[in-house]
Structure 1
Amino acid sequence: MNIKVVVYGVAIIIVATGCAGQVEDQSHPFIEETHQNEIIEVNGLATIANPENMAANINKETRLSEAYIPADLVTPNVPFSFEEDIDKRYLRQEASVALEQMFSDAKEEGLVFIAVSGYRSFERQAFLYENAVEENGPSQKLVAEPGYSEHQTGLAMDVSTASIEYELVEAFGSTPEGLWLEEHAHGYGYIIRYQAGKEGITGYDYEPWHLRYVGIELAERLVEDELSLDEYHNLSKGI
């Protein structure tokens, strides 16, 4: 067992982790109160009641209401892999500004990102999920069930680059753009949501193309302490 000391302001948390990196014990669990999920039961399903929370944790256990649509969706001024003015161009305002700055700074270093897929409605996610199950079976891990997708928050954007023909594939993580994101994304408030080695925690395969906006402070904290968003929320549960 490994011991890690995590410092959050004046609070010190001693976290014991196993080989897989899962939190086994905390003497002082800590998560910002404003980051916590507020969960209510809707039709027997654990549903997030505060979806505007920038740190909301949507996973295979907690969902968004089918009626939830972010109120501040805008189109970021970045290059896209398609021309149509459709929903997947959109992000929430704060995430959009951060994406624009990140793309611009990367371009100054000779790296060109392409935005592929942002916001998805509940209905659009249902369509994609049904197709994925038809093609790969119910155990597929690439497409979330409707309501359980981060894209519905308006805080997630899938990105790619020309060298892999704008595809969303694991090879993106080894491109200069993918490596740059791993090192710099948190400085703009984004995290690589589904990390390599965390599949057993997040429930999804490694997706180096899937960026999730959580704000700079939290993104830097997660990277520094090598925590997935799920592990961060689990600190408040004593998991």
Structure 2
Amino acid sequence: MTGAVAGLVLSLGMIAPPVMAAAPEGYDINSASSLQVVVNKHRQLNPAAYVPASLVRVQGERLRSQAADAYKQFAKAAKAAGVNVMPISGYRSYSEQASLYDSYVRQYGQATADTIAARPGYSEHQTGLAMDIGNASGTCALQACFANTPAGQWAAVHGWEYGFIIRYPAGAGATTGYTYEPWHLRYVGRAIAEDMQIKKIATLEDYFSLEAAPDYLP
């Protein structure tokens, strides 16, 4: 099993090219370097081993410069309101994602792993625009109950004000392909985040009228 999985991980860069779509309002959702790039199980990064040109450290984690600036403002505002938001995981390279994904496959099996971790080349973390967050106390770290903690509630209510969305919302697994992750913030910029908030659109797939991506393409 492990050998087969390792072989799969090494070959993922050659899986079908990303599905290209015409983005509304002039947004570029196809280029890996775009702040609005949509990455999911049907849309592989191009190139698969993409590395952002500019990464900035945020308390030990890394984000693209625009996302890092927004995250700092987000965390500063939370602290001023008495909420300590901690960064858990930001940018991950292709090889780091491959190692993480492989460990989940060995631990849970591939079917379950595909609902909780992206394959390398298909991860938002690789864009440098995603940050997993937690509470300073560690309460409900990377668990659905995080939504009911101070940091989780702050992210849900105020994240959009700083250009972040909760990328994998509750009940959207049939669209995103992932279980609920209230800790996974994705930077899309204030304009899109605010528009999604106003229109009550939960996922980027729905916002950009893309097909649902519950599973990887064969």
Scaled by the length of structure 1, the TM-score of the pair is 0.74
Aligned to 1:67: 49
Alpha-carbon shift at residue 32 of structure 1 (Å): 2.0
Report which of the two structures shows the higher radius of gyration computed on alpha carbons: 1
Aligned to 1:157: 131
Aligned to 1:52: 33
Q: Which amino acid aligns with 2:53?
A: A
Alpha-carbon shift at residue 223 of structure 1 (Å): 1.8
Alpha-carbon shift at residue 165 of structure 1 (Å): 4.1
Q: Which amino acid aligns with 2:70?
A: A
In 1, Cα distance between equivalents of 2:104 and 2:125: 16
Aligned to 1:211: 185
Which residue of the other structure, out of 154, 163, 178, is the alignment partner of 1:189? 163
In 2, Cα distance between equivalents of 1:224 and 1:112: 27
User: Which runs of structure 2 are paired with 1:78-157 in the superposition (5 Å)?
Assistant: 78=59, 89-140=61-112, 141-157=115-131
Please identify which structure carries the higher strand content: 1
Is the CA contact (8 Å cut-off) linking 1:31 and 1:232 kept in structure 2? no
In 2, Cα distance between equivalents of 1:216 and 1:126: 31
How well do the aligned residues superpose, as a CA RMSD in angstroms? 1.7
Aligned to 2:11: none
Alpha-carbon shift at residue 34 of structure 1 (Å): 2.4
Is the CA contact (8 Å cut-off) linking 1:164 and 1:172 kept in structure 2? no
Q: Which amino acid aligns with 1:33?
A: G
Alpha-carbon shift at residue 220 of structure 1 (Å): 0.8
Q: Which amino acid aligns with 2:69?
A: V
User: What secondary structure, in the 3-state scheme, does the structure 2 residue paired with 1:234 have?
Assistant: coil
In 2, Cα distance between equivalents of 1:30 and 1:128: 31
Which residue of the other structure, out of 191, 205, 208, is the alignment partner of 1:230? 205
Alpha-carbon shift at residue 33 of structure 1 (Å): 2.1
Aligned to 1:32: 25
Residue correspondences, number: 186
Q: Which amino acid aligns with 1:55?
A: Q
Question: Aligned pair in 2 of structure 1 residues 75, 135: CA closer, same or farther (>3 Å)?
Answer: same
Alpha-carbon shift at residue 224 of structure 1 (Å): 1.8
Q: Which amino acid aligns with 2:94?
A: F
User: What secondary structure, in the 3-state scheme, does the structure 2 residue paired with 1:158 have?
Assistant: strand
Scaled by the length of structure 2, the TM-score of the pair is 0.81
Matched, 1:179 2:161: no
User: Deviation per CA, 1:44-102, whole angstroms, max 9, x where unpaired?
Assistant: xxxxxx111111110001111233100011112x4x5xxxxxxxx11000000000011
In 1, Cα distance between equivalents of 2:106 and 2:119: 13
User: What secondary structure, in the 3-state scheme, does the structure 1 residue paired with 2:121 have?
Assistant: coil
Which structure 2 residue ranges, 5 or more long, are not aligned? 1-21, 212-218
Q: Which amino acid aligns with 2:34?
A: N
Alpha-carbon shift at residue 30 of structure 1 (Å): 7.3
Alpha-carbon shift at residue 122 of structure 1 (Å): 0.5
